[in-house]
Amino acid sequence: MALEYDWSGDAPVDDATMRAFIAAAIGGDQRPDGTIFLNGMYVTVRAVTGDDVNPAIAVFGWEQRFSATFRFSNRAAEETAEHNTALMVHVLIAFAQRHGGNGVLLHNGERAVLRYGEGSVVFSSDWDDWVENAEVAPLLSQFRSENLAQPLL
């Protein structure tokens, strides 16, 4: 089973802008269908409206407007997976700083591991993957870490 992180946010950004932002941030190749590929990972993005809204996201207190899924290959080398994880985190931080709004990164669709909003980025303090990743760990001293509420578990 491949590892997956789901990012949802409320910034009013269209699909094309999101895809271009993510592709540039990770150095990925955007395909004609909009999927962004990088060795060991691919990302899909979609605007969320009407019936597409995930009602579970409402528990975070804002209206979901977009969703992006980062899927990691289970065949990639550990170093590649760790680097891709760091790239994903940098995408969210850069997006939060540039576009603002609120957002949450969920591990496999249910465990909140990173949140942003009101001008801050917060890492989950009980998510060991952040500490164990040599590229992400230095970010923990630059941004807050705390026990994040887990309304979907």
pLDDT in tens, 49-79: 877 888 888 889 999 999 999 999 999 999 9
Cα gap 99→54, rounded to integer Å: 21
Q: Which residues on neighbouring strands pair with residue 46, listed in sequence order?
A: 67
Cα gap 67→40, rounded to integer Å: 20
The torsion region of residue 109 among left (phi > 0), alpha (psi -120 to 50) and beta comes to left
Tell me what the mean pLDDT of segment 107-117 comes to: 95
Percentage of the residues of the chain whose pLDDT score is greater than 90: 84
What distance, in Å, lies between the first and last C-alpha atoms of the chain? 20
Closest among 86, 65, 100 to 135, alpha carbons compared: 86
Task: Provide the 10 A C-beta neighbour count for residue 55.
Answer: 7
- pTM of the complete model beyond 0.85: yes
Do 105 and 92 contact (CB within 8 A), yes or no?
A: yes
Lowest mean pLDDT among 33-47, 54-68, 89-103: 54-68
Predicted local distance difference test score (pLDDT) of residue 141: 96
Cα gap 33→152, rounded to integer Å: 30
CA angle 104, 68, 90 (to 5 degrees): 65
What is the fold, at CATH topology level, of the domain defined by 3-146? TATA-Binding Protein (3.30.310)
